[in-house]
Amino acid sequence: MTTTAVDQRRRLLTQIPGPRSRALQARKLASVSAGVGTALPVYIERAGGGVLVDVDGNHLIDFGSGIAVTTVGNSAPRVVEGVRQQVADFTHTCFMVTPYEEYVAVCEKLAELTPGTHEKRSALFNSGSEAVENAVKIARAFTGRSALVAFDHAYHGRTNLTMALTAKNMPYKQGFGPFVSEVYRMPMAYPYRWPGDPERVAQEAFEALAAQVHAQVGEQNVAAVIIEPIQGEGGFIVPPPGWLPRVADWCRQHGILLVADEIQTGFCRTGEWFACDHESVVPDLITTAKGIAGGLPLAAVTGRADVMDAVHAGGLGGTYGGNPVACAAALGAIETMEVENLRGRAREIEALMTPRLRTLAEKFSVIGDVRGRGAMLAVELVTAGGDRTPDAALAAAVNKHCHSEGLVTLTAGTHGNVLRFLPPLDISDDLLHEGLDILEGAFLSSV
Ligand SMILES: *Cc1c(COP(=O)(O)O)cnc(C)c1O
């Protein structure tokens, strides 16, 4: 396990947020757009392992990883070393002008680690949204088709094209239209809200997709089906086994490209390198970001060489895409995942947390569902009536209570009624248990 300078213990010295954070928040409100919200206005000074240290000296337990980004931990030693060296050597040339090895090395790693043994190519970008946009450009150029299929509860980003792919109106889309055309939304195989045994749900949801695309769009017009193999912002929805392979087969039959958006699920988060690996699904294109570079902004599209090479030279790129410092960080993060077997660590975290969350669900009937894979786990909260009505107010109350006790948790879900847990993979078992104790206390005082 990584050793870090940050003391791996929760410690609360002030109210959360403390006086210094409150002073900074006042400056924020006077200088930063109100459109940029903050879930927990605690200003961070240092972080490492499973702990965030704020400007008032409080040590908070991190169950968020900055939204699944610091999978290898904050300031992971190999990331810091790689960045330090690179930033001293050179910070930018623009890969499209005079290239450098680090970019190529990241693409080689992506070819090696992403699903499938076929020949692959990659292109690097700055953000997840940008990767999804480029996957669409590539899919359209290769297929000569324009229609895109996305799913209920999907999240693919906040740029104009990716807002159209994203399902949830508030806060992501409200007031920001018009959106691009040729995006078709299909039902998601959502076990908790699609009654029946998992095998039947997989079949029914697949049939609904195939029938609706046939009737409403025409398979021959579809460039790509874009899917998060486990949905992230939508509430950590894990489709039943068999659904994704069916979708992949159907795409292949119709010359539709399968784009797996693994921006949140990728890089060991779910206990495999990629969530598609759990069902041996090989997508045509895969988008990655978040966990790839230990906190530095980097994103990628990786896919079949024939598809990726179908774009004319100069058709893909951007000034900063694959910045050398971000690439050095990615190489450090990926090496950390390999050397420290972080896939195994994600599975250990699942084995530690899931039984405790299930015990909690037995105690509190408002926890309707416990789900997720690896270190990507969630509980869905519903009202007590037994009819599975989403309870966003309860999720907000539990979340707030956790924050006040120094545990950083996040909400998710189309209805805002999901609490999600994304600890960094170098967090200690003790901190995981302590975080779960706090969560239990939050339910005791909120229900
Ligand atoms: C976060 C996320 C995105 C968008 O990434 P940004 O870097 O925020 O633009 C896209 N898809 C999924 C699945 C995500 O979780």
pLDDT band at 2 (very low <50, low <70, confident <90, very high): very low
Residues 6+ apart with CB under 8 A from 250: 206, 209, 210, 256
Distance 362 CA to ligand 1 centre (A): 33
Cβ of 139 less than 6 Å from ligand 1: no
Distance 318 CA to ligand 1 centre (A): 18
Distance 400 CA to ligand 1 centre (A): 24
Minimum CA distance residue for ligand 1 atom 10: 156
The CATH architecture of the domain made up of 78-339 is 3-Layer(aba) Sandwich (3.40)
pLDDT at 5: 84
- In the numeric block, the tokens 């959502």 are attached to 190
Kindly state the tokens that stand for 258: 């399968």
Q: Which of 124, 156, 161, 288 to mutate to test the pocket of ligand 1 (most atoms within 8 A of CB)?
A: 156
Cβ-contact 51, 59 below 8 angstroms: yes
Distance 268 CA to ligand 1 centre (A): 16
pLDDT at 48: 96
pLDDT (mean) for 25-32: 98
Cβ of 66 less than 6 Å from ligand 1: no
Backbone angles phi, psi at 303, to 5 degrees: -175, -175
pLDDT digits (tens, 9 = 90+) for 146-199: 999 999 999 999 999 999 999 999 999 999 999 999 999 999 999 999 989 999
pLDDT at 17: 98
pLDDT band at 216 (very low <50, low <70, confident <90, very high): very high
Cβ of 291 less than 6 Å from ligand 1: no
* Start and end residues for every CATH 3.40.640.10 domain found in the chain: 78-339
pLDDT (mean) for 30-58: 97
Cβ of 373 less than 6 Å from ligand 1: no
> CA 264 to CA 275: how far, in whole Å?
10
pLDDT digits (tens, 9 = 90+) for 76-107: 999 999 999 999 999 999 999 999 999 999 99
Distance 308 CA to ligand 1 centre (A): 21
Cβ of 157 less than 6 Å from ligand 1: yes
Between residues 2 and 347, the one the model is more confident about: 347
Cα of 138 vs its chain's centroid, Å: 22
132, pLDDT greater than 80: yes
The CATH class of 19-62+342-446 is: alpha beta
pLDDT digits (tens, 9 = 90+) for 238-261: 999 999 999 999 999 999 999 999
pLDDT (mean) for 375-383: 98
Count Cα neighbours of 361 within 13 Å in the Cβ-side half-sphere: 17
4, pLDDT greater than 70: no
Cβ of 297 less than 6 Å from ligand 1: no
* Start and end residues for every CATH 3.90.1150.10 domain found in the chain: 19-62+342-446
How, if at all, do strands 222-227 and 147-151 pair? parallel
Mean pLDDT value across the chain: 97
pLDDT at 226: 98
- In the numeric block, the tokens 């040590």 are attached to 59
Atom of ligand 1 at shortest range from CA of 233: 15
DSSP string, 260-314: EE-TTTTTTTTSSSSGGGGGT---SEEEE-GGGGTTS--EEEEEEHHHHTTSPTT
Distance 444 CA to ligand 1 centre (A): 33
Backbone angles phi, psi at 311, to 5 degrees: -85, 135
> CA 411 to CA 236: how far, in whole Å?
10
pLDDT band at 120 (very low <50, low <70, confident <90, very high): very high
416, pLDDT greater than 50: yes
